[in-house]
Amino acid sequence: MKRTILLATLFAAALFILLPGCGDPAIGTLQSITLSTSSSDLYGEGGVAQLTATGNYTSKATKTLTGNVTYTVTPVGYTEEGAALSATSATKPQTVSVSTTGLVEAVAPFVCTWHNYGTTTSPSWALTGSYEIVATFDNVTSNPVYMAVASAVGEPAPSADNGLCGPTPTAQ
């Protein structure tokens, strides 16, 4: 009987020592999620931005969770015309849609969350609203990121207002 207990103890100790070398090392418990984006603006019909969700663990390790999180989009503010921003969901996207891979896209019905407070010859854009996006995984929710939408972008021509919305993108 003593020999059986001793052998079982040695076997368990050997497994404990050998198993961490097989596969990923233990990275601890998920503490927080950092959500970032390639752009805080969606420019033009079909404009896109990529989200990246990074898990921060108790061991100080980080892991990309972009395709594993659940994204929630909440409208905050108003359109250029003063109407409340449309609600959105994965099953019924309105204005913005977020894929399971973290790709955010401007979708119909298109809106503008910028307002020209300047003139047609000298535009001055102000943000009137945006969409707040958070990522959740394993009961941990990320910091929010905010997306402004300019569905038909470009500054008005010097001689007339061309009906476009939002400042001209600098890097798209």
38-70 residue pLDDT tens: 988 887 777 899 999 999 999 999 999 999 999
CATH architecture, domain 28-150: Sandwich (2.60)
For residue 125, list its beta bridge partners: 116
Cα 8 to Cα 55: distance, rounded to the nearest angstrom: 37
pLDDT at 15: 46
Q: Are strands 96-98 and 48-57 parallel, antiparallel or unpaired?
A: unpaired
- Encoded tokens for 122: 């000298």
Residue 154 falls in which region: left (phi positive, over 0), alpha (psi -120 to 50) or beta: left
pTM: 0.74
Q: Is the dihedral of CA 63, 34, 69, 110 positive or negative?
A: negative
End-to-end CA distance of the chain, in Å? 73
What are the structural domain ranges in the chain? 28-150
125-166 residue pLDDT tens: 788 888 899 999 999 999 999 988 876 555 544 434 455 677
Residue 10 phi/psi, 5° resolution?
Answer: -65, -40
Please tell me which residue, 40 or 23, carries the higher pLDDT value: 40
